[in-house]
Amino acid sequence: MNLRRYLDLIIYKTFADLRSEAAKTYIGFLWWVLDPIIFMTIFYIVFGLLMQRGTENYVPFLLTGLVAWRWFQATIIHGANAILAGRGLMRQVYIPKILFPLINIMTDLLKFIVVLAILLVFLWFYGFGINVSYLAFPLVLLVQFTLIAGLTILLSGLVPFLPDLRLLVEHILQLMFFVSGIFYDASQIPEQYKMYFYLNPMANIVEAYRSILMYGQWPDWSALSVIF
Amino acid sequence: MSHQLAISLSNVGAYYWRQEGYFRRSRYWALNNVSFNLYHSESLGVIGRNGAGKSTLLQLLAGIIKPDRGELVNYGVTASLLSLQLGFIPYLTGRQNAYLSGLLLGLEKSLIAERIEEIKAFSELGDFFEQSINTYSSGMKARLGFSVAFQLDPDILLVDEVLGVGDSEFRTKSADMMRKKIRSDKTIVLVSHNPLMIKQLCDRAIWIEKGVVQAEGSTDEVIRAYEARANASK
């Protein structure tokens, strides 16, 4: 009975947060889409045009990586702070603390789904059709979701005791962003560092996205199963 | 009036961590040593100055925090704080906030759906109920908060100085509602630093100072002791 109530609460609060976020700006929901596009444009200008480091099909390559990455980054940054931010509520009613990160995970998941849908449509128009390896895509998403949810819940539990951790996390994410092969391809990495590169779960996930969505290949199962 | 125990506290203490420079913190005992019994269908007043530990006591009774020492025994009752405007989000409508706040307070979604019209009527918001609460005056927000919070019906209602919200007409209405609850069989704990309010509403009172019970007994006695101390320290 309680579980049902908490579920209702999570769902209602998720939509309430999304609605209120959209109401804060003039173009509302459009920002969820515009946000990754602007982000991508910046990287395209810097790496694709100015430094000429772009690989073939650089725009879809970059966009795929960024969409996967932004989901990871956004959830962790929002979620890490969730329990701390909910302390006002906690002082007044008894609410299981885990609900706070769960609500954040849900809002970011829904935003990601919208962005992902747009990415897929974009890729189809670009000429990367649906292929048989799409069958593996839900599994990749599930692996990533598990990774994100696990890290977020863990962090949200630690941050109230160690508020400084939140600042550290931002830097770690920054580092991870650069070593996850989002704006470059793993083939550009010197051979002796490749082993370390693939120790990063996000690097594997980004690669799995690309092999499915762009190259029509099955992802690297062993790497994904290790993350899981 | 029955004298069945609802909650009993014996030598209860609760502390917070207080930061003292880098890497040093000390325990601050907001409640030091508190013992009393709360009986079914009584209304107990808790009086004390700011920082005496009154709000901490309510959090203990509501089960939001646990005692760090001593023992708190709950004889199978539900207790909740009367929290107004709990979790309100400025960009949502009155209706949406009523749902959200109700769910946070622990109401079932189906129950809120059943009572939503009642909430709307009691809050006297009319068409504003469907507007974003950004557009509300603070009095209107308070009315909405009160209307939602009063749908909650725990065994023990814990009240932290919330009487008197909105304009005078609404204030009378909400105070009446409050009195009705108090006179009914409901168990109430009312926390205040206003002796008059406690005198009007409670049958029994305790006085807390610096986390310790200073006096316990009939409202008149306790208030007299409290006021004597207040005058003496002037």
Distance from CA of A160 to the nearest CA of B (A): 13
Check whether B224 has a pLDDT greater than 50: yes
| Partners of B204 in beta bridges | B44, B218
pTM for the whole structure: 0.81
Q: How far is residue A170's CA from residue A173's CA, in Å, rounded to a whole number?
A: 5
Of B105, B184, B101, nearest to B143 (Cα)? B101
Interchain CB distance below 8 Å, A93 and B96: no
Q: What is the pLDDT of residue B188?
A: 86
Q: What is the pLDDT of residue A104?
A: 92
Of B60, B113, B190, nearest to A12 (Cα)? B113
Q: What is the pLDDT of residue B10?
A: 84
Of A137-141, B131-135, B152-156, B160-164, the one with minimum mean pLDDT is B160-164
CA separation, residue A47 to residues A51, A183, A184 (Å): 5, 7, 9
pLDDT in tens, B78-95: 888 887 888 888 888 889
Q: How far is residue B34's CA from residue B71's CA, in Å, rounded to a whole number?
A: 10
Strand B25-39 to B5-19 pairing: antiparallel
Length of chain B as a residue count? 234
**pLDDT band per the 50, 70, 90 thresholds, residue B1:** very low
Report residue A68 as tokens. 């996967």
B6 CB contacts (<8 Å, ≥6 apart)? B38, B39, B40, B74, B75, B77, B155, B156, B187
Identify the DSSP state of A191.
Answer: H
Report residue A153 as tokens. 């819940």
Average pLDDT over residues B63-89: 84
Strand B204-209 to B212-218 pairing: antiparallel
Identify the DSSP state of B132.
Answer: B
B-side interface with A, Cβ within 8 Å?
59, 62-64, 80-81, 83, 86-87, 89-92, 96, 99-100, 103-106, 108-109, 132
Q: What is the pLDDT of residue A106?
A: 93
Most confident of A45-54, A129-138, A146-155: A146-155
Distance from CA of A97 to the nearest CA of B (A): 11
Q: How far is residue B192's CA from residue B128's CA, in Å, rounded to a whole number?
A: 32
ipTM over 0.85: no
Q: How far is residue B114's CA from residue A11's CA, in Å, rounded to a whole number?
A: 19
Distance from CA of A100 to the nearest CA of B (A): 12
Which residue from B minimizes the CA distance to A9?
B103
Burial class of residue A205 (count of CB atoms within 10 Å of its CB; 0-12, 13-18, 19+): buried
pLDDT in tens, A40-49: 788 788 877 7
